[in-house]
Structures are given as structure tokens and as C-alpha cells.
Amino acid sequence: MSETKPPTDAAPAIALDGITKTFPGVRALSEVSLALYPGEVTALVGENGAGKSTLVKILTGIYQPDGGDITMDGAKVAFPTADAASAHGVTAIHQETVLFDALTVAENIFIGHAPTNRFGLIDWKAIHDRARDILDGIGARIDPRHRLSELGIANRHMVAVARALSVDARVVIMDEPTAALSQKEIEELYELVEKLKANGKAILFISHKFDEIFRIADRYTVFRDGEMVGEGTIAETDENALVELMVGRPVDQVFPKQAVEIGGPVLTVSGYRHPTEFEDIGFTLRRGEILGFYGLVGAGRSEFMQALFGITKPSAGAVRIDDEIAVIRSPSEAVKQGIVYVPEERGTQGTITAMPIFENVTLPSLAKVSHRGFVRMAEEFALAREYTERLDLRAASLDQPVGNLSGGNQQKVVIAKWLATQPKVIILDEPTKGIDIGSKSAVHAFMSELAGRGLSIIMVSSEIPEILGMSDRVIVMREGRIVDELPRADMSAEKLVRAAAGIGVAA
């Protein structure tokens, strides 16, 4: 825990009050408040989808709030652009900050706001001198003239920090800053945070890792379902209290799960490994079972699913389907073996948005609707109609481009596409991400129907109500490994969060 005791009478460097943000069909933030204090770290805690990222985008001028006030030094301010936020001293260090390998360290630090001389030309001496001062200030022994391509991951991260501080920041946002760092590099980051605190910076620290939060934070704020549900000082709380704030809600959505008799093994995975993403993954999936995979950001769930589908190559491991060894080296081989994958990023990985609905749905099943190399359009339409109607797809016609559909209907197109291949196993990666409640209900109902017909389903989800409502069994991953497995009768929100965050279960 941070040794600095937060003052009780300090004025916040920046305060948000009553901030609301609504997107079509979704209220991302509902009258939330947040205060950040000079020389302190405030941890923003919440499940995936709690509204943390939306708030960061409002703070950095990417999104505009629909309601509420932002104040600095007692005066209301507005951040209509990212430049406006930067001008007020608000800067962010993201998990994956965009840097440019071909440029030098100094050029990366000052890209977009390089100092100029009286002739309006770039002042290279000033760039290098200022870059060296900033790097020295954060304890980074990096030559500002070196190309970024010459640096390792930790030093690249330091360059990202230096770039954020090059705008004379008063408020520093750190969004999952340790995700790609080793333990030694994490310790160095902690030292950097202490230096920033000593310099009077107000820091917003976003992390799913409780050990980090209790190591460096002075205060906490908890978001749940777009609302601020708790705040206080770290010294006056504990892990149990934060977990309760994060998940202390009823399962308030109807999940139309049917009681299904689980059959014998369909898919068996053993010893699956990848050099950087996951390690020693093994489990059995049974006929008619919905097997949930839960974990926090960076747990390796999607990376494993992509390897199982043949998108990436594991370094070791074996797969058996119906007790026969299956060799899966590509997605086409996976489909032939009866495994299909509905990706999380449906817009870039799951559909061809410029093509009409019916062509997207039938793309993997053209052999079924073709004769002697020619596609029979009537059969193609009939196949597409069968599966889109079963998913209650809302569209003007099947000729409509997928890109013109809502997010929920795009997801239904992806699911329909793969179901038309009549698979044995379907992997659903965040199946209801970004879709409205009505569409979620339709997807859940169809999942339950499919399980009832004997299809085996792997459901990757970050939504605890969805995991609890739809899974027959859940596997929890953390940092690329399976850390827990719970049957439906033993599942609880608290157990899931504790396992995913690496917190020991209370006696």
C-alpha cells in the first residue's frame, strides 16, 4: 500500500460531477462522480464494461458527456477535443500507446507538439534537451537520439510515459499500465508513480490487479454498470469490500436457459501452450453443455480460442473430437472438424460489412448451395433466411449490407453464418458485447435452444450475469492459465472475481 497518507482537506486537481454518457441503446455512464487529488493515486475499479474506458475518453476529450460538469481549480472546464484536454494538463498513458519505430525517442515524445524556433522551424536542440530532461525526471536512462526500434518493451513504455508528461501534465491517467511488463519492470513503474506523486501529479490508475491497487493507490472509486457505487481511501477498505462493491448486484437480466441433459465428451483439449499468451490449457467439453470462460483483461481467453480455431499456432497441445485426434492448422480445418468461432470483433473479423446479409451467412457453406460450381441463389437465400429468422434478425431485407445493421444484428449474422455449417462445437467470444437487452435475450434463447439440440458451446464472456445465467460450468483464466473450474451449483460472482483477480477465497 502507498505510504503517503492522503490529506483530508486537499482540493482536487480535477473533479467530475454528474457525468452522463449515452450511446444508442446503451447508457454507458449515469451521473458518475470522480475526484483526483494532487500528489495522490486514485484507483478506478470495476468489471469489464463498468464504464471506466468511457470515463477516460471523456477526460481526454475523445467523447463529450451528455450531462454533468468538469471542474479544475474551482472553475468549470470543457474538453471538446483531445488537444483541449492536453492544454488543461490532462494526459493518458494507455496499455497500447501508439509509437513509431522509425522515429527517434525524442521525436516520439514530441510528435505533434514539437518546439519551434523564431522562424517557425523545428528546434531540434530544444527537442533533444527537453526530451533528456523529461527522461531524467522519470529515471529513464535512454538516449533521446536513439531510434525507438532499438528499445525493449520496458523502455518503450518509458517513452510513452515521457510523451504523456511532455505536455506539462497535472493529471496523469494510467490505463492497465503493467499489462505487458515483467515483474522487474512493474517495480520500476511503481517507483515512477511515486516520483509523479512527489511532483504533485494527480494520478488515475486503472487496473484489474488488486495487488497493484493496494500497493500504490491512496484512494479508490468503484464503477458498476455505468454508475459510481463507492469511493474512499485505500487505508479504510480491503479486498473483500472492493469485491462486494464490484459485483454486489442481483442477476437482473432474464436468461432463458433450458435444463439440458449433458451428454458425453465432444471436445477434449490437453496441454495447449503458446510461447507468450497461454500455458497448459486442458479441459473437456460435453454434448449439450454451455462451458463458460471467464477472466479479466489479458487473461488469454480469446488468444486460446483463436489457437483452438487455427488462427494462431500453439507451441504444444492436443485436441480430440469425438475421441478422435484432430489436427487443426487453419480455420478451414477447424470447420471441417466441426469447430466454429464467433469472434469478439465481429466488424473486422466476423463479417464482410460491404456484402449483403445473405452472402455473409452462406459464405462458409457455399458447397451446400452450389451445383457444378454455380451458386443457386434461391437455395442461398433459403439457407440465410432459415438461420436469420431463428435468431430474430431485424433487417429491411437479406440484400441489406451488413455494415448498415446495428451491432446486435451484426452479431446475429456472424452466429447465423457459422450455425449454417452445422458444427459440433461453437465458440462464442463475447457473444452479446455492445448489443441491446432485447438482442441479448434473443441470442441467449437461441444458445439454450442449440444446447438442447446437442450442440456444444464454449462461451467467452466478461459479463458475470451472463456467465452465471448461461453456463453449466465455468473455467476461470488468469494470466494465461486456468486457475479455477466451477460447476453451476458452486458458481457465484464473488468466486469468479476472486479467482480472476488472484485473491484467495475467504474461509
Q: Is residue 89 left, alpha or beta, with left meaning phi > 0 and alpha meaning psi from -120 to 50?
A: left
For residue 372, what pLDDT is reported?
Answer: 77
For residue 333, what pLDDT is reported?
Answer: 92
Chain centroid to CA 66: 24
Residue 304 and residue 502: Cα distance in Å, rounded? Answer: 20
Residue 37 and residue 170: Cα distance in Å, rounded? Answer: 10
For residue 406, the one-letter residue type is: S
For residue 243, what pLDDT is reported?
Answer: 77
Q: What is the pTM of this model?
A: 0.58
Which strand ranges, in their side-by-side order, compose the sheet holding 316-321? 281-286, 265-273, 316-321, 324-326
Closest CA to 14 of 99, 90, 103: 90
For residue 181, give the 3-state DSSP assignment.
coil
For residue 49, what pLDDT is reported?
Answer: 67
For residue 3, what pLDDT is reported?
Answer: 45
| Residues belonging to the chain | 507
Q: Is residue 186 left, alpha or beta, with left meaning phi > 0 and alpha meaning psi from -120 to 50?
A: alpha
Cα distances from 259 to residues 84, 353, 470, in angstroms, run 55, 36, 11
pLDDT in tens, 26-48: 788 999 999 999 999 999 988 76
What structural domains and CATH numbers belong to the chain? 1-89+169-249 (3.40.50.300), 98-168 (no CATH), 252-338+423-507 (3.40.50.300), 348-422 (no CATH)
Contacts of 16 (CB under 8 A, 6+ apart): 32, 33, 34, 35, 55, 58, 59, 68, 69, 70
pLDDT in tens, 143-190: 999 998 888 777 887 888 888 778 778 999 988 777 656 667 778 788
Which residues of the chain fall short of a pLDDT of 70?
A: 1-9, 25, 48-49, 95-97, 179-183, 247-254, 345-350, 406-408, 434-439, 504-507
pLDDT in tens, 126-151: 999 999 988 887 778 899 999 988 88
DSSP string, 12-39: PSEEEEEEEEEETTEEEEEEEEEEE-TT
For residue 424, what pLDDT is reported?
Answer: 93
For residue 250, what pLDDT is reported?
Answer: 41
For residue 296, what pLDDT is reported?
Answer: 83
Give ∠ CA 50-52-56 in degrees, rounded to 5. 155
